[in-house]
Structure 1
Amino acid sequence: MASSRLFGAGARFSHSAIVLPAPRHRFASRRSGYAVAAKAHLNENREYVIVGGGNSAGYLAHAFAEKGLADGKLCIVAKETVPPYERPALTKAYLFPLDEKPARLPGFHTCVGSGWERQTPEWYKEKGIELLQGTTVSGLDIAASTLETSSGDTIKYGNLIIATGCTAARLPEKIGGNLPGVHYIREVADADSLVASLVRAKKAVIIGGGYIGLEVSAATSSWNIDTTVVFPEPHVMFRLFTPSIAKHYEKFYEDRGVKFVKGPVVSKIVSGSSGRVEKVELSDGTTLEADVVVVGIGAKPAIGPFVDAGLATAEGGIQVDGQFRTSVPGISAIGDVAAFPLKMYGRTTRVEHVDHARKSALHCANALLETLTDPYDYLPFFYSRVFENSKSSRKLWWQFYGDNVGESVEFGDFNNKYGAFWIDDGRLKGVFLESGSPEEFALLPKLARAQPSIDKARLQSVSSVEQALEIASKQVGSPPATAAAVG
């Protein structure tokens, strides 16, 4: 069964397109002018300035602290008023029913997602890292090495790292996109607002059939809220799932009361006498009652001031090389905003995912602080976890590695364990697994990176995930028992 590629081909990365600077010496500094300029600038720590307070910023701060180069040298400028945290929690455990011990800060500050210490406000203070919170950057002066804030203050930098992430795509105000009861989820304040609405909600409409749509609708169903998911595509997770994979997930949701409306788009969100949302009107004339609406229709890189200043762009983001250096010396970009060369597939891409946010931050830190020369060699990875609260009879947890190009071959039993391989020109390109064991999940990236030859006819004859993984593992030298003996 053919499937469309998850990543657009994009423009191929070319060193002739931009002139990339050599990395600065790790002790590069402008401290000679600090005493004179201290009162003129908002920040005190200026050797390295990170703009953005998400996952990438938190992991970059961790790397600086680990190398002993954070104290007095590093400043983080963030729009939010809390330190960096593991953002995926906002559409997962944060939305558990209130009697299910939902996740709350400080429980998921970075870097707990990788099993490292929790970076609370006290951690940043102890490490000598300056946090400028509730601060929005509105402009960049490359010649002066300064940032302008929306309040009119200036921030001085020696080396600048852009880690601003994305903002949620919004519905137009004229069709009700900003009505009370209409929610977008990108920050912890957004999730708090949604939880407050869920407490009194009876009917929810989720707009979008991707990550947000599936994760939030799983949550609302656990609140026993009548939930309808609306999206224009023919099935959920359209960019990744094949129609047959999607069918399994849709049935699982439907068996738990979630309804799907496919095809029409939202034409208007209507408020009631209280001013809050009351119904959603669709392009096919359907009207859905709703006292809470969640919009999950994508995201946009937050790069406006940096593009205006002249940084080169690609794939909707800021173009960087394999060390995350932009077209301007002394400026790097990481995480969602970085359009980087995807080495193993020979194309430029952007990846909006926590795994890349973490890994790009750590690679950039090594490039800045230890003059790393090896280019970033990223293996695309996506996952989701839903129905994890104790009231659910079963949780779903899938992982995908690689590239979904070529023809997909699916195997296993969705009620137990289910998987798929994408095969192109006789080689394994992408691997997908639902409800695998830890050992099986650990095998997936090895297979996706090795891209072994696969006998498609033989694969189509297997009946279980274990058999499929055994076939593939033999091709990369992994002991067959790694896959076959677990489950």
Structure 2
Amino acid sequence: MIGSVAIVGAGLAGATAARDLLAAGVTGPITVIGAEPHHPYDRPPLSKEALHRAISVDDHALLSSEEVAGLRWRTDTRAIGITAVEAAYRIDLDDGAPVSANSVVVATGARARGLIGDHLAGVYTLRTLQDASELRASLVTSRRVVVIGAGFIGAEVGATAAALGASVTIVEASQAPGASALGPDVAQWTLDVHRAHGITVLTGTAVSTLNPDGEGRVRSVTLADGTVLAADTVVIGIGARPETEWAASSGLAIDDGFVTDENCATSMPRVYAVGDCARVFDPLTGWHHRHEHWSAAVEHGRRAAAAILGSTPPRRRAVYFWSDQHGHRIQVCGSVPAGQAPTVVTGALHTPLDTGSEYLAVYGDPDDPVAAIGVDAARGFTRIRKRMDARLATSALAV
């Protein structure tokens, strides 16, 4: 008997686990605990569509109304501890009313990394719908925007701010932002595209301070070399930290995330960790990895649900992520090997790509690649991704 299930976290990974448990007929009950006041919603639009126009949770809901009705909800509530109590677990919440469950799925995600001075008005990070709403309102009236960090969130926000008419500067500490995920060629192309759209991109540059005006709002950003950048709005996109502190005294193994086996089981029986907060073991590499990608959250949620149900886990799929910048869609499947040149399958990189043109490249054996990168090449990229997924599923069976 499965008994009751508590899902701590109402993002994509937690929602996926909830959906699979409901589909299997679990009547438990299943309680979902979420720090936001909303039911689960998709987050990739936060750095894209949500900065152009107001969106609602219903626009990007992850669960149907029937699925929502089949779950118990504790929204606008944070977990502050988890304790084993005989054959169950007690999850303590900040509203003082704990939840008990026989099995637990930990899906608390991650929080944005900050900088000294990020308390100032006009300084934003981007993790929630509320963050996106506040940032959108600021961008509409901003003339000078500084984005700290040239990762996908920073790049997408920078592209949106430029499209809204702001003067945008992106500041990045590394010399080659995005090269580890995209490979050096596509990473350089993205920088060239930013610059072609009027964005100033400063690489190998650290931030020293965020400077206030006399009323507690950000006025400028001082760089490590003393350069001062005037700013009406500052967006910090320098990565995220897993939300694990709430369970620090629980006995769960934690090391840059909740440490799990390949099926998301933690060091405590019947407790599973999924999504951005989990470091999941990969039997093909022999290492634990924390993947902050949409596809990983879905796979983790499904694996945790299968473990609770005692059913066969879903087949493995290659890591997949994408980014929309300046009207181009960049897609990546697999992990780009360092120092290896790609084999170009279609097209060529030039700035900007001509309307209707595309670029597609693979790493490793062109007939059996370990990674693929596409720019505006959805059809060809999807074919290669399916081939990579099939190979990975076969390899996993052999481990």
Asked if TM exceeds 0.5, the reply is: yes
Residue identity opposite 1:330 in structure 2: R
Alpha-carbon distance, 1:374 to partner: 4.7
Equivalent residue of 1:309, what SS? coil
Contact 2:35 2:76 in 1 (8 A): yes
Residue identity opposite 1:333 in structure 2: A
Is 1:273 paired with 2:273? no
Match of 2:205 in 1: 264
Contact 1:230 1:261 in 2 (8 A): yes
Residue identity opposite 1:198 in structure 2: L
Q: 2:108 aligns with which of 161, 164, 171?
A: 164
Residue identity opposite 2:157 in structure 1: V
Structure with a larger share of its residues in strand: 2
Measured in 2, the distance between the counterparts of 1:367 and 1:448 equals 21
How high is the TM-score relative to the length of structure 2?
0.89
Equivalent residue of 2:299, what SS? helix
Match of 2:396 in 1: none
Residue identity opposite 2:319 in structure 1: P
Match of 1:73 in 2: 29
Alpha-carbon distance, 1:344 to partner: 3.3
Measured in 1, the distance between the counterparts of 2:366 and 2:382 equals 24
Q: Which moved more, 1:424-433 or 1:318-327?
A: 424-433
Match of 1:405 in 2: 337
Equivalent residue of 2:211, what SS? strand
1:320-469 counterparts in 2 under 5 A? 320-369=260-309, 371-374=310-313, 377-387=316-326, 395-405=327-337, 407-411=340-344, 412-414=347-349, 415=353, 416-423=357-364, 428-447=369-388, 450=391
Q: 1:143 aligns with which of 80, 85, 107?
A: 85
Match of 2:397 in 1: none
Alpha-carbon distance, 1:426 to partner: 11
Q: Compare CA radii of gyration and give the structure with the larger one.
A: 1
Contact 2:78 2:93 in 1 (8 A): yes
Runs of 4+ in 1 over 6 A off after TM superposition: 424-427
Equivalent residue of 1:239, what SS? helix
Match of 1:109 in 2: 61
Q: 2:49 aligns with which of 93, 113, 116?
A: 93
Deviation by residue 1:419-478 (Cα, 9 ceiling, x = unmatched): 332238997321111110324423234147638xxxxxxxxxxxxxxxxxxxxxxxxxxx
Match of 2:149 in 1: 208
Is 1:53 paired with 2:7? no
Contact 1:338 1:350 in 2 (8 A): yes
Deviation by residue 1:322-381 (Cα, 9 ceiling, x = unmatched): 222111112111111222122333322111111111121122212212x12558634211
Measured in 2, the distance between the counterparts of 1:28 and 1:123 equals 21
Alpha-carbon distance, 1:125 to partner: 5.0
Measured in 2, the distance between the counterparts of 1:366 and 1:292 equals 45
Contact 2:145 2:168 in 1 (8 A): yes
Contact 1:343 1:376 in 2 (8 A): no
Measured in 2, the distance between the counterparts of 1:342 and 1:422 equals 20
Deviation by residue 1:245-282 (Cα, 9 ceiling, x = unmatched): 22211111111111101122111111113321111000
Match of 1:182 in 2: 123
How high is the TM-score relative to the length of structure 1?
0.74
Pair 378,125 (structure 1): closer, same or farther in 2 beyond 3 Å: closer
Contact 2:343 2:366 in 1 (8 A): no
Aligned length: 381
Measured in 2, the distance between the counterparts of 1:125 and 1:402 equals 33
Residue identity opposite 1:126 in structure 2: A
Deviation by residue 1:281-320 (Cα, 9 ceiling, x = unmatched): 0001111111000000000110113232111234x11121
Measured in 1, the distance between the counterparts of 2:332 and 2:386 equals 9
- Identity level (%): 26
Match of 1:28 in 2: 2
Gaps of 5+ in 1: 1-26, 30-46, 111-117, 388-394, 452-487
